Amino acid sequence: MTEAQELASAGKTDSTAFCGDKPITLAVHDGFGVNAWSQASLAAVRSEAAKCPNVTTVVQIGEGDLQKSISQVNSMVAQGANALVIIPDFGQAQLASIKAATDAGVKVVPWAADPGGTPGTDYVTYVDWSSPDAGTKWAEWMVKTLGGKGNVVFIGGPAGNPVTAGQLKSVVQVFSQNPGMKLLTGDKDWPVTNWDPATAQKVMASLLAKYPQIDGIISDYGTDALAATRAMQAAGRPLVPIATLEANGLGCLYQKEKAAGDTKFQLATISSRNWLGRVAARQAIAAAEGVTINEPSTYTLPLIEDSTAGLEPKCDASQGDDFYNSNQITADELAKYGKP
């Protein structure tokens, strides 16, 4: 499929050509693996692999522990995995174990967090959006929405993770060209939420106590952004424009605030992109099967919600706050495939 087709379908396809016919074991690993985003990612990978009757899937999660993640990957390789789909949340710190798996004959496809190294040599390919492009889109939207002047906070995941780092670098670059924009949280690192909404709410509460004027929020996780709004409401502060990843709860909050006459709270989101796990699963299985498939590996994702430009934020009242509508993953698939 082309990139445009992938975006329109959230990576879904009826084709099983990638499955081949050799019995193989697909190992699935996430260095984090404990929040709603991780569950949606697992569901995307595992539901795609389930289309192949010849593929057995084994799953491990690192729970935010680097050494545990490395040990788990090494163990799955030693136990005979033929292919590995992995979210290397610790970036280059996991590259050595990925290269070792490749050297052992495993077809490795990292996705959603860049391990560095060389695609085609150290692993099959790297599947993801362009994380820096996301940061650019969020920052440019914030500049436009605030009229080129305002105090903004940026909150993100675990310290040093490559996803947040790439986004922050782009935000800093955009703001440097707009002298009226001030990034209160700094140019080099960010207040760490660990992609945990309870932590994110506490982090935002601390920022509110420190800064009397916050005009906008950029967050790399929609569920964290929603938690930040709860901190603002608890502090009696008005909601401000937010640029982030989608979350059903954010869309519902926007619709509620709009109905109440709040015109200051604006929202721009990009797909949470868990659906890219479908692409990663196909790439890894096809490589292990010796099947050639023609799919992009890197995607430039557009804003899918923009309250300032007629892209109305979505709210599915039948789903929870941390449901991600763009993935086209059903509640049944989440229940069946979303946990190890």
CATH code of the domain in which 159 resides: 3.40.50.2300
Distances (CA, A) of 304 to 137, 195, 323: 11, 21, 15
The whole-number pLDDT of residue 260 equals 97
DSSP, collapsed to helix, strand or coil, labels residue 87 as: strand
Q: Read off the pTM.
A: 0.93
Q: In terms of domains, do 259 and 292 share one?
A: no
Using alpha carbons only, give the angle 26, 328, 120 rounded to the nearest 5 degrees. Answer: 40
Are 295 and 283 contacting, i.e. CB atoms less than 8 angstroms apart? Answer: yes
Are 213 and 311 contacting, i.e. CB atoms less than 8 angstroms apart? Answer: no
CA–CA distance, 322 with 194 (Å, rounded to integer): 16
Note the pLDDT tens digit of each residue in 264-297: 999 999 999 999 999 999 999 999 999 999 999 9
CA–CA distance, 3 with 302 (Å, rounded to integer): 12
Q: In terms of domains, do 52 and 72 share one?
A: yes
DSSP, collapsed to helix, strand or coil, labels residue 298 as: strand
Position 339 in a domain:
no
DSSP, collapsed to helix, strand or coil, labels residue 286 as: helix
φ and ψ at 181, to 5 degrees? -95, 130
Note the pLDDT tens digit of each residue in 61-89: 999 999 999 999 999 999 999 999 999 99
Position 167 in a domain:
yes
Helix, strand, coil distribution of the chain in percent, nearest 5: 40, 15, 40
Q: Which amino acid makes up residue 80?
A: G
Q: In terms of domains, do 234 and 178 share one?
A: yes
The whole-number pLDDT of residue 64 equals 94
Which residue segment(s) compose the domain that 238 sits in? 131-270
Position 135 in a domain:
yes
User: How far from the centroid of its chain's Cα atoms is residue 93's Cα?
Assistant: 19
Q: In terms of domains, do 16 and 125 share one?
A: yes
CA–CA distance, 170 with 335 (Å, rounded to integer): 36
CA–CA distance, 78 with 59 (Å, rounded to integer): 14
Position 306 in a domain:
no
Position 307 in a domain:
no
pLDDT per 10-residue tile (average), the chain, 340 residues: 86 97 99 95 98 98 97 98 98 98 99 97 97 97 99 97 96 99 98 98 99 99 98 98 98 98 97 98 99 94 97 97 96 94
CA–CA distance, 128 with 273 (Å, rounded to integer): 8
User: How far from the centroid of its chain's Cα atoms is residue 134's Cα?
Assistant: 11
The whole-number pLDDT of residue 4 equals 84
Q: Give strand pairing partners of 61.
A: 30
Count of domains for the chain:
2
Position 321 in a domain:
no
CA–CA distance, 286 with 160 (Å, rounded to integer): 32
Nearest to 336 by CA among 47, 35, 63: 47
Q: In terms of domains, do 60 and 47 share one?
A: yes
Q: In terms of domains, do 138 and 207 share one?
A: yes
Nearest to 277 by CA among 86, 33, 19, 32: 86
The whole-number pLDDT of residue 209 equals 98
The whole-number pLDDT of residue 7 equals 87
